[in-house]
Structure 1
Amino acid sequence: MNKILAVIMLVLFTGVSVFGQDLSGDSKKGETLFKANCTACHALDKKLVGPALKGIYTTLSSEGVSKEWIMKWIMNNEALRKSGDKRANDIYKEYSEAAMDVFEGRLSDQDIEDILTYVNNPPEPKVEEAQVEVSVKQNTDTDSSKLLLVSFVIIGIILIITLFKINTLVKLSTKGTELSSLESHKIKNLSEFYRKYQGFSYFIISILLIISLYGVWAWLMGIGVDKGYEPDQPIYFSHKIHAGENKIDCQVCHSGAKYGKVSEIPSLSVCMNCHRNISEYNGKYIEPGKSKEFYTGEIKKIYKHIGWDEENQKYTGKQTPVKWTRIHNMPDFVYFNHSQHVVVGEKTIIAGYNKKNPNQQIDVVCKACHGPVDTMNVVRMSNDFTMGWCIDCHRTTEVDMTNGYNAAYFDKLHEKLKLEYGQDKSTITVDAIGGIECGKCHY
């Protein structure tokens, strides 16, 4: 627990007078200290591990709490409890014997004064710039839509007038004896056209047959290729917020990517490592069409599925699985090991990708296959993931020869390639070590 818990608890259980004691701390410094030391267990307006702290000093004054006792509790609540202080031990039992951190040597008396000043009367939150930007963007989009609609209406009217005029001209041109002459030369059905223009008909049929065969072939080659697929999920999860705005490393959630074949979908327990204390969204970034309330609502879905009682800060034991929609699904006859690429090939995959894509540089190996995930609000399949796509990568990606194992293991192969291709052949690509052999991926 945090120093703030100390403050609140002593407020509720203390009986020493503080009337006439004014807070003279720096609220701005107090906010910084509060966020650094207290937010793991406390919020201003709601109960977490400890009680809500907004207006705590006012409440503390009405209950009669001495500032000296507060300092002792925050500095070293453990020592205060061991001294036999009844109030300190009552607070400890009240909050399920959840011991607060000892801040002696970490916080000064002035630090505590600053924190109390901030939590007692925190400044009203400013309207986020991101929200203003979203509002402006939405208004701009609305104006653009109206302009586009008006343009289509005008074009439609022009087309109708043009068609009317053409129809009038056609009627005028077919009046009189010329109509009978035209009718006598008119081809009335497809078979008559085929007999009259047999050679041309063969040509057309051949072209149509080739196009049809190509269409069937293209359709067959597209089976299982779902590039651009981005399904809606039962819980809205923005990678842009987590990986982009908050810079959370991919492997914090997808730990299996480094140590195993499958990167795995993180369990809700992983989500709760952070969202046990982050129950509301207060970030600056808001996706167009969304709101802070929307993101907060999605956090509540996590609580519902995992059975988290937010009010009492404990698990109920009632859980329901989340039916995620899978995006990347490797066929059963294909072997792919994430750790082999994330650990062994990390350096050269990143280098090879950046060389081939000078205008789209990456800093994380995951992006080579999954695209710029840190910019995606909804995750989508960014590449084809076909056999040809994999083989092309193996033919251009170098083996990391700075790795001690690879340098020793492929030493003879390296010399052989130099003899075969000349001394300038100083690199070994994955295909040279069996990266395109059938048995490497199909077993």
Structure 2
Amino acid sequence: MISWRKHYKRGLIAIYVLLSTSASIYAQGDAKNGEKLFKANCTACHALDKQLVGPALGGVVDRLKKEQNLDTDWIRKWVKDNKALRASGDKYANEVFAKFNKTEMLAFPNLSDKDIDDILEYTTNPPAPEPAADAATASDTNSVAALEMAQKQSTNSKVILISLIAIGGLLLWLLLKLRQLVKLQQTEELAGLNATRAVSFGDMYRKYSYIGKGVLVVLGIFAAYGIWNWLMWVGVYKGYKPEQPIYFSHKIHAGENKIDCQLCHSSAKYGKVSEVPSMNVCMNCHKMISEYKGKYIEPGKDKAFYDGEIQKIYSAVGWDPASQQYTGKTQPVEWTRIHNMPDFVYFNHAQHVVAGENAIITSFNKKNPEAKIDVVCKACHGQIDTMNVVQMANDFTMGWCIECHRTTEVDMTNGYNKEYFKNLHDKLKKQYGSGTKVTVAAIGGLECGKCHY
């Protein structure tokens, strides 16, 4: 009897040790904190449920234990410095490196053992999503909404009925008045009056010819002005915002995510033309971002819509997100151009973005204190970081450009400009007074040959 109890106690101790060991593997961390750390450090290359640049990490602790007999100590070493682990000759570390095209994972020596355990707990037991609203509450809300809608429809019906009755009464009154006019026309007094009046347009024109000629002259002037005004707006497409083959929201990219304009439009700073970015530029980010996880959703759109547009990028460049490789099958994207300078006009982006950046921003903010800008691009292209669909924000006429040249002062705090335009500044002071400013117009900004060559 004593021997049996002894074995029983030993069995309980063994079971306790086994359970505590299992718990140390699977429940060592804080899953909620692990979720924050995972999103901050891992989501660029990893997801829980699918392969991105690196493998899917859902259940990675259990998977490594079963397949490779590796514990969390190995994972900690890999996360903190996978390069050192590979250099030590670790077989599995080198196998993983080779399997994923020798793409070296970033080292995270800043993560403590507890941080890594929290992340592993998140990959093992992700926190459940926030519970949906109570069904009964939702039902009550729907019932109230339905009742309000029914009351509103009843009120609308009454208004429509009263309006129809009022219109019917008005028509009846008009009918009675017409009958009175017909009776009045049949009197002798009215017949005599009609005999003295003009009965045709010709008679009317001969009687009042001087008035008619004056009216024709006025109409002719208005017609000429209308034609001239119409001709002046040929080629002006302010507000033009065509649909593109792949939906691209500048509000999400430049507004919500604060991506610098010149990251995509790199030639705007040092080139004459600001080019349409190639699809490879898109893939710099979307190679690792295969679905939309942002908080902002445009009215009328949903997450599935944005995910579908990302898939269009993959189809265009021939990218297989499952294998993380290019297939070689590409499809050209026919973008619709929005801003298109005429061939007879010279415009250099670099001249404005580099040399004129401070001057343009300062001038614009003085003239538009309620809509200050922080980047020079917005002076011409509008508040681009608030646009879901890009549109032409200004007229882009010659008059619009000339007005800007007349009011924009040259940046004289720039050492080069201060020295180069010193003599010009002194000359303008003598000619117009000490308060004069050096504008773009003063340095040749109104010369025809500057823009038309």
| AA of the residue aligned to 2:308 | G
Aligned to 2:183: 175
Counterpart of 1:437 in structure 2 is: 447
- Give the whole-Å Cα distance in 1 for the aligned partners of 2:236 and 2:162: 38
Are the structure 2 counterparts of residues 430 and 125 from structure 1 closer, same or farther at C-alpha, using a change threshold of 3 Å? farther
Distance 1:160 1:122, change over 3 A: farther
2:331: which partner in 1? 320
What's the CA shift for 1:160?
A: 6.6
AA aligned opposite 2:391: R
Residue aligning to 2:28: 24
Q: Which has the higher helix share?
A: 2
One-letter code aligned to 1:204: V
Report if aligned partners of 1:230, 1:381 keep a CA contact under 8 Å in 2.
Answer: yes
Question: Does 1:74 pair with 2:79?
Answer: yes
1:95 alignment partner AA:
F
Q: Which runs of 5+ in 2 are unaligned?
A: 1-19, 133-144
Are 2:386 and 1:381 aligned? no
Q: What amino acid sits opposite 2:450 in the alignment?
A: K
Contact kept, 8 Å, 1:354 with 1:360, in 2: the verdict is: yes
| Deviations 1:259-314 (CA, angstroms, capped at 9, x unpaired) | 01111111111111111111111111111111111111111111111111111111
Q: Give the alignment partner of residue 92 of structure 2, picking from 87, 94, 104.
A: 87
Contact 2:61 / 2:71 at 8 angstroms: preserved in 1? Answer: no
Deviates more, 1:319-328 or 1:74-83: 74-83
SS in 1 for 2:269: helix
Mean Cα displacement is larger for which, 75-84 or 34-43? 75-84
Paired residue for 2:364?
A: 353
Aligned to 2:140: none
Counterpart for residue 165 of structure 1: 173
> Residue 152 and residue 123 in structure 1: after superposition, are their counterparts in 2 closer, same or farther (change >3 A)?
farther
Matches within 5 A, 1:157-306: 157=164, 162-163=170-171, 165-176=173-184, 177-178=186-187, 180=191, 184=195, 187-306=198-317
* Residue 111 of structure 1, CA deviation: 1.7
Tell me if structure 2 keeps the 8 A contact 1:280–1:296.
Answer: yes
Q: Cα deviation per residue 1:135-165 (whole Å; 9 max; x = unaligned)?
A: xxxx9xxx9xx99x98996898456753553
- Partner-residue secondary structure (3-state), 1:174: helix
Counterpart of 2:430 in 1: which secondary structure?
helix
Q: Distance in 2 between matches of 1:127 and 1:153?
A: 44
Q: Is the 8 A contact 1:18 1:66 kept in 2?
A: no
Deviations 1:396-433 (A, max 9, x none): 000011111111111100000000011222x2011001
Q: CA deviation at 1:225?
A: 0.6
Q: Aligned equivalents of 1:153 and 1:223: distance in 2?
A: 45
- Partners of 2:317 and 2:297 in 1: CA distance: 26
**Match for 2:48 among 30, 44, 49?**
44
Q: Which moved more, 1:181-190 or 1:216-225?
A: 181-190
User: Residues of 2 paired with 1:126 and 1:329: CA distance?
Assistant: 49
Which range moves more in the overlay, 69-78 or 362-371? 69-78
SS of equivalent to 2:417: helix
Once the two structures are superposed, the pairs formed by residues 395-414 of structure 1 within 5 Å of their partners are 395-414=406-425
Cα distance change, pair 152–226 in 1 and its aligned pair in 2 (3 A):
farther
Per the normalisation by structure 2, the TM-score is: 0.83
Quick one: distance in 2 between partners of 1:27 and 1:91?
26
Residue equivalent to 1:113: 117
Distance (whole Å) between structure 2 residues aligned to residue 437 and residue 231 of structure 1: 34
Distance in 1 separating the partners of 2:245 and 2:120:
41
How many aligned positions are there? 409
Match of 2:57 among 49, 53, 57: 53
CA deviation vs aligned residue, 1:318-345 (integer Å, no higher than 9, x gap): 1121111111111000000111111111
Q: Which amino acid aligns with 2:261?
A: C
**Distance of 2:284 and 2:158 partners within structure 1:** 52
Residue of structure 1 in register with 2:137 after alignment: none
Distance of 1:380 and 1:161 partners within structure 2: 50
Equivalent pair of 1:280/1:299 in contact (CA under 8 Å): yes
Q: From the CA coordinates, give the structure whose radius of gyration is larger.
A: 2
Q: Which runs of 5 or more structure 1 residues have no equivalent in the other structure?
A: 1-16, 129-138
Residues 42 and 352 (structure 1), Cα distance of their counterparts in 2 relative to 1, 3 Å cut: same
Q: Structure 2: which amino acid aligns with 1:46?
A: K
Q: 1:261 to 1:180 in 2, by over 3 A?
A: same
* Distance 1:150-1:340 versus aligned 2 partners, 3 A rule: farther
Residues of 2 paired with 1:208 and 1:369: CA distance?
38
Shift of 1:257: 1.1
After superposition, the Cα gap between the structure-2 partners of 1:82 and 1:125, relative to the gap in structure 1 and judged at 3 Å, is same
